Amino acid sequence: MATENGMTNRSYGDAQIPVTFQSLCSELSHTGQLYLRQISAVIDELAPQPGVLVYTHVKKLAVRLDGLEPIVFSAIDASTHLQVAQIHLAMTTAAAVSFVDFAVRSFPFRIQQMRTRHEMPFHNNASNKVRHDFAALMAQRDIVHSFITDLSPDALSCISSKLLFGGMSESYMPRGSERELQWELAQFLFFHNNYRSVPWLDGQTPLQKLKTFDGFAWMHSFNPSAEWEARAAFPEVRLPEAQPQLHHANRK
């Protein structure tokens, strides 16, 4: 109920506690700061160093390319939120392993553990005749693989999924060619890694957080899509094969 001085009364049992708009904002701000500190504490506990824990997500995009649904594989480091991603046209174990190899090459640190949801393509049903053990393939790469399940929810996984390509901005994705989609992904990753301020990283960007660890202060930018961008800007030129020259013997 509003009062003459612009205050409202909040009832707790028989007590009437006056609440102003300013005090409400202060209370919400305090709650938000507490929430951010809790997230930071979880990050420090689960991922005290880059590469200790990397979440890998897979998502079908709401576009179609040549009749196929493109799929984006994303890997995000729990400690720094540094992120790499690739677009594939098939949700297979082979595609997942190919992406992992790309992530291993792209991240400037070693991946120790990779955590995914208990679903395709990271887990195949026993009835699948063509079956590949994703965990075994990760072990060959000296990476521990673990699952997130509905029975063991992971708050960091849920939070990180909101920072991915197609996570919260799917309606703004291009509806054109695969080349346009790849370019949009490259631009997204460059912005996220180098310019995106993350509240629970004390407002730092993923790159700034990475540079707080020993051995990374020299890095000025992180662009996992640089190789693709170079190919897109300067497509490979295929030169015609040289024709063998015929040497005729001198006629007498």
Each residue of 129-183: pLDDT tens digit? 445 689 999 999 999 999 987 655 678 888 888 899 875 555 455 556 778 888 9
Q: Is pLDDT larger for residue 232 or for residue 116? A: 116
Domain count of the fold of the chain = 1
Q: How much is the pLDDT for 84?
A: 97
> Is 246 a domain residue?
no
pLDDT given for residue 23 in this prediction: 76
Region of 224 on the Ramachandran plot (φ > 0 left; ψ -120 to 50 alpha; else beta): alpha
Sort 44 into a burial class: Cβ within 10 Å, 0-12 / 13-18 / 19+. Answer: exposed
Q: Which of 69-73, 123-127, 203-207, 240-244 has the highest mean pLDDT?
A: 203-207
Cross-strand bridge partners of residue 76 = 55, 83
Asked if residue 29 is part of any domain, the answer here is no
Residue 1 lies in a domain: no
At residue 12, the pLDDT reads: 47
**Averaged over 104-114, what is the pLDDT?**
97
Distance in angstroms (rounded) separating the CA atoms of residues 135 and 145: 5
Instruction: Tell me which range, 24-33, 62-71, 99-108, is most confidently predicted by mean pLDDT.
Output: 99-108
Q: Whole-number mean pLDDT of the chain?
A: 80
Question: Does 110 map to a domain?
Answer: yes
Residue 186 lies in a domain: yes
Note down the domain range covering 223: 41-232
Average pLDDT of 31-42?
86
Whether residue 238 lies inside any domain: the answer is no
Distance from C-alpha of 57 to C-alpha of 78, rounded to nearest angstrom = 13
Question: What local confidence, expressed as pLDDT, does residue 205 receive?
Answer: 97
12 within some domain: no
Q: What CATH number does residue 120 fall under?
A: 3.30.420.10
The number of C-alpha atoms within 13 Å of 151 and in the hemisphere containing its C-beta is 2
Residue 24 lies in a domain: no
Give the dihedral of Cα atoms 240, 242, 248, 249; nearest 10 deg: 180
